[in-house]
Amino acid sequence: MENASKYTNKQELEAQGFIKTPRGIYKLNALEQIYRNGRLEYGDKSFGGQDRLRAGMKLASDFEKSHFSIVNSSWQNEKVDCKFQNNNDINYIRSRYYTAVNSIPREFWPAVRQICIENKIPDFKNIQSARRRSENLYLRYFDLCRGLDRLIEHYLSRKIQF
């Protein structure tokens, strides 16, 4: 019950990823937070942070639309408006997701999966040295950017709007 009466200030909320927009309070996902901190500017100079953000959001969107979390359920294809989605649509989105994942090299995939799919910001608090923590964070973000660069190239070669 202590936490219910605890006051949260603006800096704590911003650190947790909340921002105030004209439409109200919005929680940024992990990729948007990383973009906002300027960490998507590593990698190939022909792509910018905005391009990497859009490619990562497209990959996350395809993952969510694929309904991988729903396992053999009778309402698997049912939408909110009680209309059923065609299995061919889900199969197409899943194949698009799998081909996008296959375009990302194996060594960059853990960073892309953690941030884009699992929606987790890398955390190296268990490392004692601040220098080692910052080096590991830099390497993780650099791998993320290189993986997203490959994803952008994949989307451009397939002419998929991201």
88-95 LR contacts (CB < 8 Å, sep 24+): 90/65, 90/66, 93/62, 93/65, 93/66, 94/66, 94/68
pLDDT of amino acid 9: 76
pLDDT average, residue stretch 141-149: 94
Report d(CA 109, CA 17) in Å as an integer.
Answer: 24
**Res. 55 pLDDT band, cuts 50 70 90:** very high
pLDDT of amino acid 104: 95
CA 111 distance to own-chain centroid: 10
For 65, 82, 129, the CA distances from 85, given in Å and listed in that order, are 11, 9, 51
Summarised one tens digit per residue, pLDDT across range 109-126 is 999 999 999 999 888 888
**Res. 24 pLDDT band, cuts 50 70 90:** confident
Domain positions in the chain? 30-158
